[in-house]
Amino acid sequence: MSLNSIDGWLIYDYRYSNPVMEDTIGHIPNMTRPYWFWIPMDSEPVILSSTVDIERFPESNIKKLSWSSRLQMIDILNQTLRTSNTIAMEYSPNCELPRVSRVDAGTIELVRQSGVEVVSSADLFQYSTQIWSSKDLKSHIKASELLTNIVHEAFNYIGDNIIANVTEFEVAEFIRSRFIDENMVITDGPVVATNEHSSDPHYDPAKQGSSTIQQGDWVLIDLWSRVSGEETMSADITWTGYVGDKIPDKNQTVFDIVIGARDCALNYLKDAHNDGRFVQGCEMDKVAREYIYKAGYGEYFKHRLGHSIGKEIHSNSVNLDSYETYDTRRIIPGIAFSIEPGIYLPEFGVRSEIDVFLSDDGPIATTAMQTAPVTIGV
């Protein structure tokens, strides 16, 4: 979407249903009614809010308009948009990008009654709210370094406790304890999955029923977090290992295909940058997916290639996806995302996940890149 093709950006929120509002104007506590933030292309922005909530906004230079009744709200909205033809909102045609689709259909209908065309703000809010600062990048790299250390500690913990019949759940608990030690945020996870459990991308080992890890087991660990603080960025990695000295041939073959797809996608982005060309998220997914299909395992790659990363693990900029959705947003300098192809067979799964930041000088892998399965000594 070209900024020259729209007359403004209308951000709508009700009961904190649209995180783009908070990304734009900050958190406004105890909002009880719908409110709007209108950012026109050729004049000053304005906040439209109920008289009940209007005083909750901090003092600023932003103009504020308020209403008491619904009819007054509609009148103020119509007056605000009266000279506009095309506006952007958090809307995705046919809900093609669920992460973008934050405004309900009824509200879109209401706005269209003002006589405007509504288009998606997907590119607009990526540029406006998702670009990292150098401080953001530094916090992400710190988190990625901690995660890499912890995942290796987890593999060592398995080896040290095999005789004690260590379980998947106990390894997950060990990882969570290390997050606490390192002052990292615990949301959910981690994934600690052996054998057929590693074919479930979001396997969550429970205290009751998780598997005991034994000699000859394949182990996948996916862990994510950020350093505690208001404005720190997340990191997200997945590594795999084998309990024993010699990796089984089939596991090694699938592992090699997965990291080949990972590296192929990253190199595609590097080449595009060197050629001065922007890449869409769906392009990256297609590159890795084609690599895995050609290797004969296409039906076992069951999710998108990667997701946006920000303060949230799954954030609001472009995803690497032509499979679950079709993300045509461009990968732009200043954003971060995961690259995580996977092959999930009935008996075991392999995923290799790295994080990448697109700098002005090109893409940077901000996490360690696994090149061989970890061999877990016993």
pLDDT in tens, 225-256: 999 998 999 999 999 999 999 999 999 999 99
Residue-wise pLDDT tens digits, 280-331: 999 999 999 999 999 999 999 999 999 999 999 999 999 999 999 999 999 9
The Cα–Cα gap between 52 and 67 comes to 9
Residue-wise pLDDT tens digits, 336-351: 999 999 999 999 999 9
Structural class in CATH, domain 134-376: alpha beta
pTM, two decimals, is 0.93
The pLDDT-based confidence of 2 (bands split at 50, 70, 90) is: low
Peptide bond into 205 cis (omega under 30): no
Range(s) of the chain covered by CATH 3.40.350.10: 3-129
Residue 26, helix vs strand vs coil = coil
Q: Which run of H or of E encompasses 257?
A: helix 249-274
State both tokens at 137. Answer: 């990048």
Predicted local distance difference test score (pLDDT) of residue 327 = 96
Over residues 214-232, the mean pLDDT reads 96
For 3-129, which CATH superfamily applies?
A: Creatinase/prolidase N-terminal domain (3.40.350.10)
Predicted local distance difference test score (pLDDT) of residue 230 = 84
> Is the pLDDT score of 378 beyond 70?
no
What does pLDDT average to over the chain? 96
Closest CA to 132 of 320, 358, 289: 358
The pLDDT-based confidence of 377 (bands split at 50, 70, 90) is: confident
Range(s) of the chain covered by CATH 3.90.230.10: 134-376
Predicted local distance difference test score (pLDDT) of residue 32 = 94
Closest CA to 26 of 62, 50, 1: 62
Residue-wise pLDDT tens digits, 135-169: 999 999 999 999 999 999 999 999 999 999 999 99
| Nearest-5° Cα angle at 225, 247 to 217 | 20
Closest CA to 85 of 150, 41, 137: 41
Angle in degrees, 0-180, between the axes of helices 134-161 and 168-181, rounded to the nearest 10: 140
Enumerate residues 6+ apart whose C-beta is below 8 A from 43.
Answer: none
What is the percent of the chain where pLDDT is above 70? 99
